[in-house]
């Protein structure tokens, strides 16, 4: 691969530039904007994919301006970032494509076109979070991402969207300030912000200070990823936004927060230093998220709200995976975040299309849609089965690895809880599926109307089948396990990043 270190830089620079050029283009040549949006989307996806491929074969370190780790800003991508860069490449492209097809019906002069610029800003900062090598740039990229996400949430300007946007903004800002507080405390203790260098001096920080910083980090990043007890904003924001935005928020953005939690806790708060066991804390919070999400999802009549609560539950699975603190657990969490990103963004797309057809977000109004659109109905069935975790499909294997990791550590109750979560999610997904394939035709649904972005939905509906192969292809399975080993031993990261400093 040519210039292996530079792909991640351009995966940040290109979408950021495109965002602003697209605004100008929309102002001066509105009729040409559509093509350029698609072109920029394709190029960004390609660059992100390139960054992921180059990172998956080894650690890539880019010293911006040629400065070393002690003075300069580093971009680092490693096998862990690679997994999330893949998610970003596919999830971002699917979300931009969905939004594009939705707004292209409203003509080139509509106000909604401006949103596309925000998508690219969000995408750039997402790639920034995944490749940054220091704590302060993590905060900066987080805030860029958050501001773009707040505006996108409220962009449809309905009352619900504005309320959800304001809630998201207030809680997101509190979360960002907690992250900044932890960052400044770590800087006071370590005198450096680079992950690799800070990780090597973190032993000298007093135990109490480190414990407080760890608490603030977990609370701040937990707020951003919708972890119980900081989850209040998530169902509102993810269910009130428009379809493309929901896909991006629920599929990709929460995964970026999960990535930073994984990176920061494993590198900066080693188990013996922080005074309390971070993996155990994450395990308990994960179990809480799992049950809160699954139980609250049962009560929902709105399909998007139900899917959003299900996201809270699946964040729980990911936290349990890293709570096991073993390569297998982390590998399971990585596989599951891939599965969840693909399936949940596709389910939001399907739910959005069904809601537009029936004119209501209530899933009870979807009677017989699965029979009217057999291919889309089959795709929805596959995706829901994968998210529930039925054995041959993709969603099962991630959970299976997490269960195995929990049993490996002798945590039988956790393993049982994860399996109980599968049963609980059957309780709310199965009625929706029964309603979709019900032979009755409801009277009030319109007979005409086409499924939006049907091709994309069917394509995404194939992903559970493809991802099911993950577990059986030895090289991919070994890659995930290697990534897990890489994550749980911070010394490897330190040596790789600092070793590359020697000219």
Partner 1 sequence: MAVMSFITVSLLFALGLFTVLSQRNVFKTVIGLTLMESAVLLLLISWAYIPGGSAPILPLQGKGVDPLPHSFTLTAIVIGACDIALAFAFIMKLHRFERSVNVDDFRRLKG
> Looking at beta carbons only, is 212 or 381 nearer to partner 1?
212
- Residue 77, H or E segment: strand 74-77
- Coil/strand/helix, residue 210: helix
What does the block give as tokens for 430?
A: 């199965």
Cβ of 20: how many Cβ atoms within 10 Å? 12
Q: Residue 420 interacts with partner 1 (CB under 8 A)?
A: no
Q: Where are the alpha helices (DSSP H) in 111-156?
A: 115-131, 135-154
Q: Quick one: which segment of 137-145, 254-262, 314-322, 403-411 binds partner 1 (CB under 8 A)?
A: 137-145
Closest CA to 99 of 13, 34, 17: 34
Q: Would you say 143 or 408 has its CB closer to partner 1? A: 143
Binding segment for partner 1 (CB under 8 A), chosen from 194-202, 295-303, 449-457, 478-486, is 295-303
> Shortest Cβ distance from residue 173 to partner 1 (Å)?
5
Of these, 236, 285, 325, 329, which contacts partner 1 (CB under 8 A)? 236
- The residues near 449 (Cβ < 8 Å, ≥ 6 apart) are 356, 357
Token output for 267: 């590198």
162 binds partner 1 (CB under 8 A): yes
Mark the segment that binds partner 1 (CB under 8 A) among 55-63, 82-90, 138-146, 377-385: 138-146
Q: Does 166 bind partner 1 (CB under 8 A)?
A: yes
Please state the closest distance from residue 172 (CB atom) to partner 1, in A.
8
Place of tokens 């199965």: 430
Q: Tell whether residue 296 is a contact of partner 1 (CB under 8 A).
A: yes
Q: Select from 225, 226, 221 the least CA-distant residue to 175.
A: 221
User: Shortest Cβ distance from residue 458 to partner 1 (Å)?
Assistant: 32
Part in contact with partner 1 (CB under 8 A); list of ranges 48-56, 231-239, 336-344, 435-443: 231-239
**Which of 266, 289, 300, 358 touches partner 1 by CB under 8 A?**
300
Phi-psi region of 412 (alpha: psi -120 to 50; beta: other; left: phi over 0): alpha
* Closest to partner 1 by CB, 167 or 411: 167
CA-based angle 39:40:42, to the nearest 5?
65
Q: Which residue, 56 or 183, has its beta carbon nearer to partner 1?
A: 183
Q: Which of 65, 157, 444, 447 binds partner 1 (CB under 8 A)?
A: 157
CB atoms near residue 423 (< 10 Å): 11
CA distance 109 to 124: 25
Report the interface residues with partner 1, using CB under 8 A. Answer: 136, 139-140, 143, 147, 150-151, 154, 157, 159-160, 162-167, 169-170, 173-174, 176-177, 180-181, 184-185, 187-188, 235-236, 239-240, 296, 299-300, 305
């Amino acid at each position: 691969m040519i210039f292996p270190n530079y792909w991640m830089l351009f995966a940040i620079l290109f979408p950021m530039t495109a965002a602003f050029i697209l605004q100008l283009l929309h102002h001066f040549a509105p009729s040409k904007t559509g093509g350029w949006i698609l072109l920029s989307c394709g190029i960004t996806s390609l660059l992100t994919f390139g960054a992921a491929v180059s990172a998956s074969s080894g650690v890539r370190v880019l010293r911006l301006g040629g400065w070393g780790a002690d003075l300069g800003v580093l971009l680092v991508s490693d096998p862990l970032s690679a997994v999330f860069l893949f998610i970003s490449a596919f999830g971002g492209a699917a979300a931009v494509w969905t939004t594009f097809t939705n707004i292209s019906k409203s003509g080139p002069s509509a106000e909604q076109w401006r949103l596309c610029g925000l998508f690219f800003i969000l995408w750039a900062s997402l790639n920034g979070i995944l490749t940054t090598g220091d704590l302060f740039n993590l905060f900066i990229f987080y805030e860029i991402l958050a501001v773009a996400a707040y505006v996108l949430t409220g962009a449809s300007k309905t009352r619900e969207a504005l309320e959800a946007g304001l809630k998201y903004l207030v809680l997101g800002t509190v979360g960002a300030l907690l992250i900044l507080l932890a960052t400044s405390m770590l800087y006071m203790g370590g005198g450096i912000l680079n992950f690799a260098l800070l990780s090597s001096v973190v032993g000298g920080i007093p135990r109490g200070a480190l414990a407080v910083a760890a608490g603030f980090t977990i609370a701040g990043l937990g707020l951003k990823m919708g972890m119980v007890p900081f989850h209040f904003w998530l169902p509102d924001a993810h269910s009130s936004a428009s379809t493309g935005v929901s896909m991006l928020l629920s599929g990709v953005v929460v995964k970026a927060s999960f990535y930073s939690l994984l990176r920061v806790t494993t590198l900066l708060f080693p188990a013996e230093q922080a005074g309390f066991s971070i993996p155990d804390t994450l395990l308990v919070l994960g179990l809480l998220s799992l049950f809160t999400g699954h139980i609250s999802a049962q009560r929902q009549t709105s399909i998007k709200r139900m899917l959003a609560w299900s996201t809270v539950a699946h964040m729980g699975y990911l936290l349990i995976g890293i709570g096991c603190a073993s390569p297998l657990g982390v590998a399971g969490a990585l596989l599951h975040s891939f599965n969840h990103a693909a399936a949940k963004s596709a389910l939001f797309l399907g739910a959005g299309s069904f809601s537009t057809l029936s004119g209501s977000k209530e899933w009870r109004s979807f009677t017989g849609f699965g029979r009217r659109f057999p291919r889309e109905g089959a795709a929805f069935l596959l995706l829901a089965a994968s998210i529930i975790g039925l054995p041959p499909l993709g969603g099962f294997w991630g959970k299976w690895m997490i269960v195995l990791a929990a049993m490996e550590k002798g945590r039988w109750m956790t393993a049982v809880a994860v399996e109980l979560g599968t049963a609980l999610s059957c309780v709310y997904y199965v009625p929706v599926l029964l309603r979709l394939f019900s032979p009755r035709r409801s009277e009030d649904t319109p007979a005409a109307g086409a499924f939006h972005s049907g091709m994309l939905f069917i394509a995404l509906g194939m992903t559970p089948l493809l991802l099911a192969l993950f577990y059986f292809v030895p090289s991919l399975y070994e890659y995930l396990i290697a990534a897990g080993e890489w994550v749980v031993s911070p010394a490897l990261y330190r040596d790789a990043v600092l070793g590359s400093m020697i000219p």
